[in-house]
Amino acid sequence: MTEPLALSLTKICRSFGPVQVLHDVDITLAAGEVHALIGENGAGKSTTMKIMSGYLAPTSGVVALNDAPVSFVNSQDAEAQGVVLIHQEFNLAEQLSVEQNIFLGHEKKRGFLLDKAAMQAEARALLARLNCQVDPSARVSDIANADKQMVEIAKALSRNARVLIMDEPTAVLTEREAEVLFDQVDRLKAEGVAILFTSHKLDEVKRISDQITILRDGHVVSQGPTSDYNEDQMAEAMVGRDVSSLYPERTVPVGSEAALEVKGLSVAGFAHDISFTLKKGEILGISGLIGSGRTETMEGLVGLRSTTGEVRLNGKVVHLKSPQQAQAAGVCYLTEDRKSRGLLLTKGMRENLTLQCLPDFTNVLIDQKSEDAALTKAIEDFDIRAPSRDVAVGNLSGGNQQKLLIAKVMLADPDIVIIDEPTRGIDIGTKQQIYEFIHALSGQGKSIIVISSEMQEVIGLADRVLVMRMGRIAGEVSGDDLTEDKIVRLAMGLDAHKEEAA
* Vertex 230: Cα angle to 488 and 456 (nearest 5): 25
**388 part of the interface to other proteins, by CB under 8 A:** yes
Contacting other proteins within 249-308 (CB under 8 A): 304
Taking CB under 8 A as the criterion, the residue among 348, 433, 440, 499 binding other proteins is 348
Please give the size of the binding site for other proteins, defined by CB under 8 A: 39
Contacting other proteins within 461-500 (CB under 8 A): none
User: Using CB under 8 A, which of the segments 164-172, 283-291, 356-364, 451-459 binds other proteins?
Assistant: 356-364
Taking CB under 8 A as the criterion, the residue among 362, 376, 444, 456 binding other proteins is 362
- Phi–psi pair at 458, nearest 5 degrees: -65, -40
Q: Which is nearer to other proteins, 75 or 314 (CB)?
A: 75
List CB contacts of 371: < 8 A, sequence separation 6 or more: 350, 353, 354, 361
Contacting other proteins within 75-94 (CB under 8 A): 75
CA distances to 15, 141, 290, 352, 396 from 390, rounded to whole Å, are 22, 36, 36, 11, 11
SS3 3: coil
What DSSP string describes 176-236?
HHHHHHHHHHHHHHHTT-EEEEE-S-HHHHHHH-SEEEEEETTEEEEEEEGGG--HHHHHH
**343 part of the interface to other proteins, by CB under 8 A:** yes
Provide the minimum distance between the beta carbon of 337 and other proteins in the complex, in angstroms, as a whole number: 8
Entry field: residues in the chain: 502
User: How much helix, strand and coil, in percent to the nearest 5, is found in the chain?
Assistant: 35, 25, 35
Contacting other proteins within 400-439 (CB under 8 A): 408, 412
SS3 359: helix
Taking CB under 8 A as the criterion, the residue among 321, 347, 377, 385 binding other proteins is 347
Taking CB under 8 A as the criterion, the residue among 93, 117, 391, 494 binding other proteins is 391
What DSSP string describes 55-92?
SS--SEEEEEETTEEE--SSHHHHHHTTEEEEPSS---
Taking CB under 8 A as the criterion, the residue among 19, 359, 498, 501 binding other proteins is 359
Taking CB under 8 A as the criterion, the residue among 342, 398, 399, 475 binding other proteins is 342
Q: Which is nearer to other proteins, 104 or 114 (CB)?
A: 104
**373 part of the interface to other proteins, by CB under 8 A:** no
Provide the minimum distance between the beta carbon of 55 and other proteins in the complex, in angstroms, as a whole number: 8
| Contact pattern from residue 24 through residue 63 relative to other proteins, giving x for each residue in contact according to CB under 8 A and a dash for the rest | -------------------------------x--------
Residue type at position 387? P
Provide the minimum distance between the beta carbon of 58 and other proteins in the complex, in angstroms, as a whole number: 15
Instruction: Give the closest residue to 29 by CA, choosing from 144, 166, 152.
Output: 166
Q: Which is nearer to other proteins, 113 or 364 (CB)?
A: 364
Provide the minimum distance between the beta carbon of 389 and other proteins in the complex, in angstroms, as a whole number: 9
Instruction: Give the closest residue to 188 by CA, choosing from 73, 69, 29.
Output: 29
Provide the minimum distance between the beta carbon of 74 and other proteins in the complex, in angstroms, as a whole number: 5
List CB contacts of 266: < 8 A, sequence separation 6 or more: 272, 273, 274, 300, 307, 308, 309
Taking CB under 8 A as the criterion, the residue among 158, 174, 356, 401 binding other proteins is 356
Q: Which is nearer to other proteins, 10 or 370 (CB)?
A: 370
| Contact pattern from residue 298 through residue 337 relative to other proteins, giving x for each residue in contact according to CB under 8 A and a dash for the rest | ------x-----------------xxx-xx----xx-x--
CA distance 89 to 172: 9
Taking CB under 8 A as the criterion, the residue among 125, 358, 373, 494 binding other proteins is 358
Instruction: Give the closest residue to 262 by CA, choosing from 319, 324, 335.
Output: 319
CA distance 196 to 46: 12
Q: Which is nearer to other proteins, 136 or 398 (CB)?
A: 398
Contact by Cβ (8 Å): 411, 386:
no
**387 part of the interface to other proteins, by CB under 8 A:** no
List CB contacts of 322: < 8 A, sequence separation 6 or more: 303
Q: What's the Rg (C-alpha) of the chain?
A: 24
Provide the minimum distance between the beta carbon of 410 and other proteins in the complex, in angstroms, as a whole number: 13
Give contact residues for other proteins (rule: CB under 8 A).
Answer: 55, 74-75, 304, 322-324, 326-327, 332-333, 335, 340-348, 351, 355-359, 361-362, 364-366, 368, 388, 390-392, 408, 412
